[in-house]
Chain A
């Protein structure tokens, strides 16, 4: 196809996405709605992958503001420092896919507001950094909205050992991505490369849930 000109129509955008797939996918992803809880290294990079893929509706929520120490792994640029992450991310995502409807919330996510925030979503993605918050969200979603697909990330700190990060379907509804063990509390830090691998696993699972399973791949890589 042609390289295209700016601004882009939605029809051109859809054609471009479908041209990089073996079957039309834009019309499947466009009506989907995905919620992302936490917009740090995981959440911001997951959101980028989802809007690039053509997901039509995102609900993004985080109470925090962008700071310099986030830039090593989060999607924000220096110009966003001091801004609310939800607002900054919405601006970035709109520049990638202006046809995605983005609902952004500057709010601390709790057991009390999780249904109001994400009740309309097909898939909810847990992308917090604090383990108590991860557990809170997973427990709250599975108790209050057991019908939802839920994707959670745990274990992507440090650098190296990229293959240790994997996708595990714990139940029919819950997918866990990460190595399960590397903890930022151990002082190993967080790197873009490893956080983005985990974010990629999580976004990939969301796309797979929306489009249906693909060819199962090598036997050793098959997920239960």
Chain B
């Protein structure tokens, strides 16, 4: 089980890119943290594993 934004999800074995796509998020408008540390964009192919605590922020426009 992987925790995403505080919710348990059955996404162990999926890549960060796959998870972003399933949440309808554009990687260019997102920030992904694993265990509180930012995941560099170049590592979005990385596969999530059981116990990972992931925070995902999808940005929207306006300011």
Contacts and interface: CB of A to CB of B under 8 A. Distances in A.
Contact of A131 (B29, B37, B40, B55): B29
Interface string A207-223: 00000000000000000
Contacts of B36: 171-173
A42 B40 CA distance: 26
B37 A146 contact: yes
Contact of B61 (A131, A146, A171, A180): A131
B40 A134 contact: no
Nearest to B41: A139
A178 to B, nearest CB: 8
What interface size band does chain A fall in? 35 or more
What interface size band does chain B fall in? 10 to 19
B62 A195 contact: yes
A184 interface: yes
A155 B62 contact: yes
Contacts of A128: 63
A178 B40 CA distance: 24
Given A130-B61, A142-B31, 16 more contacts: A41-B63, A43-B63, A134-B59, A138-B38, A138-B59, A154-B57, A154-B58, A157-B61, A171-B36, A172-B36, A174-B31, A181-B60, A182-B60, A184-B60, A184-B62, A185-B61
8 contacts: A38-B63, A41-B62, A131-B26, A132-B28, A152-B57, A153-B63, A170-B57, A185-B61
